Structure 1
């Protein structure tokens, strides 16, 4: 704040905001009460009071605020004059009659802060951008023409300033290079006034854009002007209004001088920059790739911090954000320098990644901030600040729809999101997006991309990705939390609709291979709504996509991913809903099915027993879900060698399913199918075959001849043929089945491997041991790799291979 003959003067946005906050406190009003009295949105008032943005010059907002707060005439005059000063970027307060101006304070340095380059790691992944800028700007400074103004835009922390510093260092010899702070109109105005003074202007006369640019155009010799950190391009670069590309504000085409301008900003939107102009080129600065990010981490954290793969995984977790990579790399280096007796969590890349996986972002970044040699803000704060600034700007530009879409996308994960998921009809059915259309969806996505908040890729599908640090920050924001239910329910609904969009029979059923291409595109996101809703009651309503995703991963044979997804979903749901909630029990059931598939029979048996008891108590003993868990407990008993118990339970569940679901229901057929396998194992082949042929007929009619469930029944029938001693027929039948199963499910699917194993057994029984052994060796190799050496199926193949004479 400045005191003088003109009264109090607030020279920064923070001082201006502090005065508004003082008046608010004096009036004894909350933000909500102020909002109700002034009709100014709470978010906008919050921005004024936090110093994130200023009231518009021609808006009634400031007058309304001052009226409600009972400001005096002196306070009104001081704030009105200061707003004009801060918005216009001029060093003359509006209403002054002379040429004198408030003292701008100490003379500013215009030297680029090149010392920052000396303390950072090697700049990686920017070679092509730096080479292009070097050529283009070098051509301009040599008087050869070309585009004079280049704008670097991207998410905060993406390294725009570092790129600008490298450019400054490259041109700092024998040329004028000016570095000006562009964070707000006043800062830019003071910097431009210093340039004018260096070029022969007066400190005591008004120095506006026209005066500065006359001096720049008349300057002798090459020059480069870098304006760093322009977060609100329209307000900062055009203090008197108009469009940036009009060329009448602080940014103009260089027409006569051998000069060029480089700007850094987080806002690359067409709305802010008023579309293309022949004298201005926008250049996006995106995140680093996995490899380059890993090199940054390894250079700072040291090779002993972990493998290249671990560094790449942590780089991906940090979204390739250069500032995050630098600070976390330094944190790891400092942690490794401490004695082993000190208990610190981030000594390695894997350990640091584990901290992020359990949600300790803020704790890790707080440590990173303390470890940073220059005390800069943590990447979490910077990412949050960058996107909050972007959201504030979007709100100021009258675009709440785009902000709402960002928050909805936050309920997904950082994996690529198919654009087709964002159906305008479903969006418009939500209270968040009244009257949403495809054009408006595309416009909102374009704006988010221009602000660096999302990435867009067009091959092989149109995909969208969010930066993981942006997701973490968004999920903690009060504006997101205020509408949490709406956002997570919409995201879950979009995923469910995407899964059901497949046109084949059994549409959306994750057990149906026809739907697998769709599931492959969305499976990574099905945990997103659950993670976003963690700890909130609405979580109970968004569990369905997660459970269906687990079913898809299990059905398609990806048991390792299925287990991780199921375990994560169970943990999140258990904390919020308790162990007897039907949704939690459904996820727990799926988890135990995966344990069964992985051959961990004792774990599966114990888990199913607990689920059966709870489902029986919560849902009832005849409920289809209770019967499902009892059915799988019987399968575990069969595979553990307890055929008598398995037969008894299978028969009980079959009888109940016939009563509750009907004889032709899919689950009833599954019960008949499994009961038949136990009968066959116990020597009752005729009963088993009659039952299996009935199931096959019904499954072929209801599901199709190549459905995975139909193939399971065909395999049981082929096994029966082998048990009856019909080796030659069995070999031919199982050979056809193995080929068909491989085509439908894939070469490494557990059921394909089971069919190939059975084929080898049939070949040995038919007197073809060499072919059998060759096939068994191949199956053993794949089962060991896919299922593990300790899996019962792997052991069965190894045991069968040992039957070879002489082994």
Structure 2
């Protein structure tokens, strides 16, 4: 290979290990082109061809400074030496493949921004430029003034050596030439296309010398037969076709073939753990199933395993059968019989499946690996084909794929239960979403660059390979106007925007043409199958789609003892949850009573329900179930409240339509708002209480008892936020309405009066607080009894008023009474008892009885830590008080 040094203008011959070089591509103008002798002796410098060489040299010096060498066909080949010319024609494809960058000079394009002019360039209609375009890893297209128009491909290994290349034109060039973009990105993908397909790409092109229409295909067809200028176009073409036939025949005789209908993914991200599991299980005579959610990468793992097997064990046949239904399975089997040239298959009455089975069982044919792809419903494989002869009607379709020592089978399926009809449980490999490192690597390889938001985006896409590939295709298609950050912003805008993005179809070369490339639509295929075969499981999935995706408790989704078999009814629950798990739509957690779902699966489920017109119905069922199991906010229910609270937050994001469902929704908000308030989340509590109040007021009226409860909670939250005026106004309204509608001695009325007294107390209005507090206490004793929890609360509140008035003896007496009663009725570690201890400790402190105060607070703090946790407001306050007392004592 002769290269031109761009610094010295001296040629040098390299026979091996050539240095990094740029390579030129251009249209020949025979009369004006320069030659090896011209450049060597620096003569005929006025020729347009010589100036073009100078243009290439200057471009490399200026824009590719790390590269010192250049190859141009006009002057780097001695055209007068026929042997050198023939060698160059045979080697040219490899030379373009090995170049750091190919510079394509389009002499008929003047405007780098004019795409129409670019599309009309004669460069796209020449024979040799097809080979140069496909072979080169990176091509930079240049105008006649040497301005960059854009590029195809991106040579990652040489990225530091490359100049700014402008916009990506791969899709545009694919449209102009008819060459698939995957081939343009990586010439190694040529092997996925037949010789006939590659021959079609040259149609419509022309060459100056007639023989070159055949010679320019040497590299593309991998058939270097040597140039023999003067033989004529027809003879050259005939020699090429004969060489192809001979090579194909030799290859067929020499080694088994790789029959995979998909290209190998050039940016495939290894998943070592899964690969190791597959290798370990896929021993001879084995049947292994890859099981996982649609879009999780099962088929891509299988494709990579096929290519890897073919490379490592070239004496092994590799077959791929589409197995999504009986028609595709049998057609794939017939195609395979044709590929193998199985004897007898031409007979119209032949049983091709039986002939193929006989071939596969014949050990003399060699080892083989067969992939059965997309076996999401195995029922047709477990049935005999309709054309089976009477003598073997019991043979099922799967029986035509025999067990034998020299063959192994790899199955991909979304359903574990379907896979287990064909393999043993130990032969199942569960394919889960990628880890973050793998997911980020996949995104970077697809987008062709890194971003600070890569980690955030792959997390938002649940590390799902198909979703990541889909997002990357969208970003690349719209680049540079769309970035990872912009895509992420649109994805997180709302559920509608998110589902719109993930329902968009994008071309992915390694996906089955009949399978959806949109992750949302892929999952909906599973939903439809489950709905048709096990409706109760589909309805359970519908309810679960509205839950918080983490820790979906059995108590929330399993209904016992109902008459109408709602979703999750105990009679079908176990079967239903197993079905959803087997389709990888839900996954188990370490707690066997809890499940998880991917957020995107929940979104897809809801979109599917909307298309069926059943979304509101499913949401109402979720609301009904949550309303039933969410408990009142008593201390003993806090653990369950804490467990269900995330689901209440999800419920609050969407308001139901029907009246009954709205009332249940308002109850959920009321209960969960009470819990939020008890945990110190006053902003969340106010939001829930306000929504609850609005619904109850609209549906039941302002005087209804449930409406008054919600109003009282809003007022209570105002008080805790220090919004005294708003709290007092609303509490006065609630007290007056309660007295009028429920009566002055009704427990709810007494509670609201106690709340109002607390508001007076918080403002330092001790006399009003005391008067109202005494009234509530005395009435409670009369109507509820001295030991009723509400009575004890009223006594405790009055004690606080006395304490703040400085009437410490009276406060102490009441607080001791409350503590002893609560210990006897509730227990020493009950939250209300602990609260009473903290109040009495505060009174001891004011009395200067620090030792007693410290002892009591230590007991209270220990109980708070155990029952409420370190982050609870009362725990924090008690710890602060204890530290203060200990400091005073020291």
Q: What range describes the TM-score normalised by the shorter chain of this pair?
A: 0.5 to 0.7
- 2:486 — aligned with what? 347
Q: Is 1:682 equivalent to 2:817 in the alignment?
A: no
Q: Is 1:540 equivalent to 2:658 in the alignment?
A: no
Deviation per CA, 1:618-654: give whole Å up to 9, x if none.
8666444665576567668877989799778756643
Q: 1:562 aligns with which of 684, 687, 705?
A: 684
Check conservation: 1:164, 1:262, Cα contact below 8 A. yes
Higher relative contact order (CA 8 A, sep 6+): 1
Deviation per CA, 1:392-446: give whole Å up to 9, x if none.
444665x44443443344444433333344445576526x77xx96343322332
Check conservation: 1:112, 1:168, Cα contact below 8 A. yes
Cα-Cα RMSD: 5.8
TM-score w.r.t. length of structure 2:
0.55
**What secondary structure does 2:320 align onto?**
strand
**What secondary structure does 1:669 align onto?**
helix
- 1:161 — aligned with what? 299
Rate the CA distance shift 1:290–1:674 in 2: closer, same or farther, 3 A: farther
- Aligned equivalents of 2:485, 2:597: Cα separation in 1: 25
Report the CA distance between 1:701 and its aligned residue: 5.3
Rate the CA distance shift 1:249–1:334 in 2: closer, same or farther, 3 A: closer
Report the CA distance between 1:258 and its aligned residue: 1.9
- Aligned equivalents of 1:741, 1:120: Cα separation in 2: 62
- Aligned equivalents of 2:374, 2:426: Cα separation in 1: 17
Check conservation: 1:715, 1:734, Cα contact below 8 A. no
Q: 1:284 aligns with which of 430, 435, 438?
A: 430
Check conservation: 1:365, 1:379, Cα contact below 8 A. no
- 1:305 — aligned with what? 452
Report the CA distance between 1:385 and its aligned residue: 3.3
TM-score w.r.t. length of structure 1:
0.59
Q: Is 1:325 equivalent to 2:461 in the alignment?
A: no
Rate the CA distance shift 1:234–1:667 in 2: closer, same or farther, 3 A: same
Report the CA distance between 1:494 and its aligned residue: 2.3
- 1:489 — aligned with what? 620
- 2:324 — aligned with what? 183
- Aligned equivalents of 1:135, 1:268: Cα separation in 2: 19
- 1:204 — aligned with what? 346
Q: Is 1:720 equivalent to 2:866 in the alignment?
A: no
Matches within 5 A, 1:96-495: 110-112=258-260, 115-123=263-271, 127=273, 129-137=274-282, 139-140=283-284, 148-172=286-310, 173-174=312-313, 175-202=316-343, 203-205=345-347, 206=350, 208-220=352-364, 221-235=366-380, 238=383, 240=385, 248-250=396-398, 254-270=402-418, 275=421, 281-288=427-434, 304-306=451-453, 310=456, 315=459, 317-328=460-471, 338=480, 346-347=485-486, 351=489, 354-355=492-493, 357-365=494-502, 369=506, 382-394=518-530, 397=533, 399-423=534-558, 428-429=563-564, 438-457=570-589, 459-477=590-608, 481-495=612-626
Report the CA distance between 1:363 and its aligned residue: 3.4
- 2:641 — aligned with what? 519
Report the CA distance between 1:360 and its aligned residue: 1.0
Report the CA distance between 1:152 and its aligned residue: 1.8
**What secondary structure does 2:265 align onto?**
helix
- 1:763 — aligned with what? 845
Q: Is 1:667 equivalent to 2:776 in the alignment?
A: no
Check conservation: 2:735, 2:749, Cα contact below 8 A. yes
Check conservation: 1:269, 1:450, Cα contact below 8 A. yes
- Aligned equivalents of 1:184, 1:280: Cα separation in 2: 25
Rate the CA distance shift 1:360–1:558 in 2: closer, same or farther, 3 A: farther
Which segment drifts farther, 758-767 or 194-203? Answer: 758-767
- 2:694 — aligned with what? 585
- Aligned equivalents of 2:667, 2:514: Cα separation in 1: 34
- Aligned equivalents of 1:556, 1:644: Cα separation in 2: 21
- Aligned equivalents of 2:621, 2:720: Cα separation in 1: 42
- Aligned equivalents of 2:686, 2:475: Cα separation in 1: 27
Report the CA distance between 1:585 and its aligned residue: 0.4
Structure 1: gaps (5+ residues): 1-106, 500-507, 571-582, 588-614
Rate the CA distance shift 1:420–1:473 in 2: closer, same or farther, 3 A: same
Rate the CA distance shift 1:735–1:264 in 2: closer, same or farther, 3 A: same
Rate the CA distance shift 1:214–1:563 in 2: closer, same or farther, 3 A: farther
Report the CA distance between 1:136 and its aligned residue: 1.8
Structure 2: gaps (5+ residues): 1-251
- Aligned equivalents of 2:363, 2:802: Cα separation in 1: 94
Check conservation: 2:475, 2:484, Cα contact below 8 A. no
- 1:551 — aligned with what? 673
Number of residue-to-residue matches in the alignment? 610
Report the CA distance between 1:161 and its aligned residue: 1.1
Rate the CA distance shift 1:288–1:692 in 2: closer, same or farther, 3 A: farther
- Aligned equivalents of 2:470, 2:759: Cα separation in 1: 60
- Aligned equivalents of 1:246, 1:274: Cα separation in 2: 20
Rate the CA distance shift 1:384–1:710 in 2: closer, same or farther, 3 A: farther
Rate the CA distance shift 1:473–1:198 in 2: closer, same or farther, 3 A: same
**What secondary structure does 1:414 align onto?**
coil
Q: Mark the structure with the bigger radius of gyration.
A: 2
- Aligned equivalents of 1:389, 1:201: Cα separation in 2: 35
Matches within 5 A, 1:574-613: 585-586=694-695
Deviation per CA, 1:279-309: give whole Å up to 9, x if none.
994443234467865776688777743496x
Report the CA distance between 1:259 and its aligned residue: 1.6
Rate the CA distance shift 1:294–1:770 in 2: closer, same or farther, 3 A: farther
- Aligned equivalents of 2:758, 2:731: Cα separation in 1: 10
Deviation per CA, 1:315-356: give whole Å up to 9, x if none.
2x5344332134336657888x74xxx68784375x35522x
- 1:89 — aligned with what? none
